[in-house]
Amino acid sequence: MSVRAGARVPEARQPVLDPGSGRHGRRRGHADGRTGWVIASPLHDRAPTFGTPVPLLHASPASVNLEQAPMPVDPTHTSPLVTRVDTLASAPERGRRAEPEVDAGPAKIGRFVVLRKLGEGGMGVVYSAYDEQLERKVALKLLRGEFRGQQQSVGQARLLREAQAMAKLSHPNVAQVYDVGPFGDAVFIAMEFVSGGSLKDWLQREDRPWRAILGVYLQAGHGLAAAHGAGIVHRDFKPDNVLVGDDGRVRVVDFGLARHDEHAMTHPGAPPPSASSVDLTQVGTFIGTPAYMAPEQLLREPADALSDQFSFCVALFEGLYGYRPFKGATTAEISRAVLEDRRLEPPRDTEVPGWVHAALVRGLSIDPALRFPTMDALLQVLSADPDRARRRRLGVAAAAAGVMLFASAGGYAAHAIQARDAATCVGADEPLAGVWDPSVARAVREALTATGAAYADEVATRVGQRLAEYAGAWVGMRRGACESHRRGEQSDSLYDLRVACLDDRKTALRALVEVLTTADAAVLEKAVQAADQLPTLARCADTRALLARSPAPDDLAAAHAVDDLRARLAGVQAKFDVGQFKAARAELGPLRAEAEALGHAPTLAATLHLAGKIDDQLGDYPTAEAALLRTVATADRAGDDDTRAAATIDLVRTVGVRQARFDEGLHLAELARGATGRLSDGGTAEALLEGRLGDLLLTRGDLDRAAPHIDRAVELRARLHGETSIAHGQALISRGTLKFLRGDYPAAIAEYRRVLAIFEQTYGAHHPVLGDVLNNIGAAELSLFDLDEAEATFTRTLAIVRGAYGDSHPALATVHFNLGLIAQFEARYPDSLTALRQALAIYEAHLPPAHPSRGDCLIELGNTHLFAGDFTASEQSFADALAIFQQAFGTGHPRTTQALAGMATAQLRAGRLGDAERTFQRALAELKPDPADPTRGVPLAGLGRVHLAAGRHAAAAEALEQALPLLPQNAFVAPYDVAEAQFALARALVRLDPANAARSRDLASQAKAGFLGVGAAFQPAAAEVDVWLSARAG
């Protein structure tokens, strides 16, 4: 079929990976030589370079027209609400009910459309509802104002005040309250809708290591601490009031919403709590759950933040050891055990360390004054595990490579450390004064919030938490080193090395704080990631790593020079971590000259490595490659295995991925694997290498070989850093991309949405770092032909990327490319040409001449010219793409098949049937002679169309009959490619023999459905089929 100009647009094509990361995959082999959407890279180890917007994604189903149908509810989740309905104690109803009867049809509460009732208890009713204004699903809770026995107006007013206070609290570990207000004699509270289960369910689902349990409770503890900071007390903390979302984020729920008059006594005639009620929230007599209550609550004294701390420790004790610290089957028994301080001991065979138990014992003190002064103080102690720092390293590049900059810095001050009095550990935390203390913390927060960005407050809170945790762990490790040395458990030399390592980390912390206190909008974007990229403290507890540190120069002056230089290098590293790449390069220049002159190999290797990483981020790949190669050689000479391995892994990206030199990249990966085998980093470098290798193979199009490496990276990062870490999210992006490249778009979207949830938790819902993930979701939407959603996604992406990185960053090419494809689908050919030319200009400025992305863009320019009827320009674009693909991949590759098919189609539509036939035959001849190869379907279908146009109906039918079974097997062939082949075969068959009319009509009907299922530009093709069918009706 020779389709008229404008009747067709390019198919849902194989993704082109983001040129900013240099990753590009195979393209769809179509009759028109068409390629695919551009999707963004996994951001494995780089400071984010692709700032793009993100739509608000929820665990709830997508928005629907609520006037036509209620939003579906996922029945697989027993607890999809922020407010747990199974913790609402049943109680007799009193007074007039304000809740709507959902069974009678959807009703509204304020602007919220009620979908269904999910639970009811003595405090009120919980519904799932839909916020029409903000288009999101919410949990809607109606609380009766008189349940305390107070006057209705008094109870309602108090509930409103408490709920309004909660609405002002925004913290990633606290369920967000969106809105509150009166409704009849009740108060409604609209809250975040969370898909997931309770912490109790999470604990019971499987046996979990103590570190994982502690990590989840630490998240909950941060939520409690944030509430306490806002003057809100929970009063009923327990595992049932903590949700672990499907995204892995922990949220504490029901803060203070069941608050009652603390001095109220039991209602006259009320029955005493039963044995079965000790786990349930009780109202009227107590506020809270007896099994988790603090002594003061059991005595009906006012509860405060210290009461929450006691409940938290009860719950954590239970989570770690499998039973609660105070035994009792009834409220009375538990009360006696608590008030008499009859606390159970932990199991003898527990793996939970003593320092954790000691913290719990203090938090469970009967006298509130003996507990920790705040939740933050308790959390600081519980976070001081040296090994936990390794899992918190979300910025994998810094953990695997960047920390090498500091690996031996303070070690050269060992001559000074020897002179210290190691016999005393008084004031072990004093060295952080002026580095991280309350005044410094305030200065950092003020600088970040002063940027005025919408997400500045969220970033400032998250950065403050991370730096406080880092500083607390540093103090704990510093004190532990001193005490161990004083007890004679650690040699002088090892103690000196350990203190020197900690001094390195303090230098890095100081350098980052200095950058953050002068933050601008660009620094704000990278601040959270930079805090997580601080060098790991775990290395300072690793004896093997400490003993492997390079020795200091023998000359005292040289040792001082090395220390001074590395302190300044720490400042450059901090600028790199916050994305100030140009400033970092400018500042590094003189330091590199000093390092060259100094001649100290370990310091020079660290300097060269940082230079290579900076140049890589700035897109100067040849210069980066040269610096990294020198790093490897210099580190090898210095015996620095860590830096050597890190630089080799970086070369896999710079050479094999960025510059598409695949074989060299694979060779470098093997060298890196040998280097990582000698490290004692717990697998951090291996995780980075597996991710890089997976990316390289994705870029090369070898999906089957890429899969195990990607899965291994996902596994390692989840184990090392946690399932809600940025590192794990970066690995999940690659897995989503793998599924995208295999054509499983719904599965890809699911992976990308998991990443979005992780990144939203870490960065906030509007942070530019989410853009890569959003771009990939848009690409998947586009592949599913959801053009409106995809265009909205990419338009937002374009605005954010341009605002964050200017007009010429490689990431902009990604977005221009995809917007060009959408314009193609919608037959807006001038817009398509403009967008694609913008993408090509950026590609040409940043990528080598034979890079596949340049060919991809030329393919799409060829398509747009083709559909617009400019066949000469179309053929030239396809020919230019062919030259690039031949240089990159050689002949017989699916990419060269695309370009040849595109040339042939342009020739066919220009009426040059002979040229078209020869070009299609060439494409077919370059492929392997395997009749079952799905790629052969593309040129076979093209030959069929040529034969049909030439009136050779038998030859056309033969070629199309061979092509049609192959096309659906090709994951890169879209439905309308199949539709075109079906319609061509229908016409060929009916011309051969009128007896084929019935099958021809069936084929044409299928073709019509295929054309109607995609963009508006295919409607003329569907109309042409419809006319053909009408002429043969009956």
Burial class of residue 670 (count of CB atoms within 10 Å of its CB; 0-12, 13-18, 19+):
exposed
492 in catalytic set: no
| Tokens (6 digits) for 652 | 């896999």
Phi and psi angles of residue 116, each rounded to the nearest 5 degrees, phi first? -165, 155
Rounded-to-integer distance, Cα 874 and Cα 151, Å: 79
* Distance between start and end Cα atoms, the chain: 23
Beta carbons of 404 and 501 less than 8 angstroms apart = no
CA-CA distance, 749 to 241, in Å (whole number)?
Answer: 30
Token code pair at residue 646: 């890190």
Cα dihedral 218, 221, 222, 223 in deg (nearest 10): 130
The 10 Å CB-count burial string (b at 16+, else e) for 1013-1027 is ebbebbbbbbebbbe
Q: Are 355 and 374 in contact (CB under 8 A)?
A: no
Query: Residue 645 corresponds to which tokens in the numbers above?
Result: 């391995």
Give residue for tokens 């290798």.
Answer: 693
**DSSP secondary structure letter of residue 652:** I
- What angle in degrees, to the nearest 10, is found between the helix axes of 726-741 and 745-763? 160
Residue type, 765: A
Phi, psi angles (nearest 5°) of residue 130: -130, 130
Provide the residue count of the chain: 1034
Q: Are 770 and 749 in contact (CB under 8 A)?
A: no
SS3 at position 929 = coil
Helices and strands, number each (H, E), in the chain: 39, 11
- The residue type found at 843 is Y
Q: Is 141 annotated as a binding residue?
A: yes
User: Are the C-beta atoms of 778 and 790 separated by less than 8 Å?
Assistant: yes
- State the Cα–Cα distance between residues 698 and 1034, nearest whole angstrom: 51
Stretch (H or E) spanning 364: none
Three-state DSSP class for residue 130: strand
Task: Decide: 986 and 980 in contact? Cβ < 8 Å.
Answer: no
State the DSSP code for 683: T
Tokens of 88: 């609402």
Please say whether the beta carbons of 665 and 696 come within 8 A: yes
Q: Which is the catalytic residue, given 32, 131, 236, 542?
A: 236
| Residue given tokens 């694997």 in the structure block | 673
CA 390/CA 835 separation, integer angstroms:
44
Number of other residues whose CB lies within 10 A of the CB of residue 992: 14
H/E segment holding residue 114: strand 112-121
Location of structure tokens 């853009």: 771
Q: Where is 178: in which H helix or E strand? A: strand 177-183
Read out DSSP for 294-340? -HHHHTTPPP-HHHHHHHHHHHHHHHHHSS-SS--SSHHHHHHHHHT
| DSSP track, 218-239 | HHHHHHHHHHHHTT---S--SG
The alpha carbon dihedral of 817, 818, 821, 826 has a sign of: negative
Task: State the sign of the Cα–Cα–Cα–Cα dihedral 20, 22, 28, 30.
Answer: positive
**Cα–Cα dist 626/651, whole Å:** 10
Q: Name the token pair of 783.
A: 């592949």
Mode of pairing for the β-strands spanning 242-245 and 250-252: antiparallel
Binding-site residues for ATP: 141
Name the residues annotated as catalytic: 236
Q: Which residues are part of a known binding site? A: 141
